Amino acid sequence: MSKRTLRVSKIRNGTVIDHITRGHALDVIKILGIDGRAGGVVTIAMNVPSEKLGVKDIVKIEGRELNPEEVDKIALLAPHATINIIRNYRVVEKQRVKLPSVIYGILKCVNPSCISNSGEPVKSTFYVEQEEPLRLRCHYCGRIIEREDVLKQF
């Protein structure tokens, strides 16, 4: 077994998040609320050589399959990532994350005076103006939110 395969060893059941933009592995961990206390093996690899990206980060999570909302959240911070669902050491599902042009519900506007932060029946709505660096505009108040603002919410 080469050193290379050791570094990114296989998992039995769970999720491999590949092609994360370099430097964003810990952001992905944070956004998924992973703190290690759930018990499964979590492997984080940073600055791994990649043909597509030059270097990339990888996160492997044993015993957890991501749901679509979690995949959308990853897209906010790592728009090139691919998600591999692993069962019994085999990739059973492979999908590329895709940032939708409009993001409903998962984020809060940073503007405390925005109507979307009031008691009204309203679902937060953001338009993706730019993927990298991330730039979202609130549909209601027009406020711009960026990567740091998104990270603070998870």
Partner 1 sequence: MNAVRFEGRDIISIRDFTRGELDYILNMASEMEEVAKRGSDMLRGRTLASLFFEPSTRTRLSFEVAMQKLGGTTIGFAEPDISSIKKGETLADTVRVVENYADVIVLRHPLEGAARFAAEYARVPVINAGSGAEEHPTQAMLDLYTILKEKGRIDGLDIALMGDLRYGRTVHSLAYALSLYDVRLYFISPSMLRMRREVLDDIKGRVDVVEEENVEDVIPKIDVLYVTRIQKERFPDLSDYEKVRGSYRIDLNLLKGAKDGLIILHPLPRVDEIAPEVDATPYAKYFKQVWNGVVVRMALLALVLGALE
Q: Which residues bind partner 1 (CB under 8 A)?
A: 111, 113-116, 118-122, 137-144
| Nearest alpha-carbon partner for 86 in 16, 32, 38, 7 | 16
Closer to partner 1 by CB, 95 or 118: give it: 118
Cα separation of 2 and 24, whole Å?
26
Closer to partner 1 by CB, 93 or 129: give it: 129
> How many residues belong to the chain?
154
Minimum Å gap between C-beta 140 and partner 1 is: 3
Q: How many CB atoms sit inside 10 A of residue 42's CB?
A: 19
Minimum Å gap between C-beta 141 and partner 1 is: 4
Closer to partner 1 by CB, 93 or 148: give it: 148
Closer to partner 1 by CB, 55 or 115: give it: 115
Complete DSSP assignment for 26-64: HHHHHHTT--STT-S-EEEEEEEEETTTEEEEEEEEET-
Minimum Å gap between C-beta 120 and partner 1 is: 5
Please say whether the beta carbons of 28 and 75 come within 8 A.
no
Minimum Å gap between C-beta 113 and partner 1 is: 5
Which DSSP letter does residue 106 get?
S
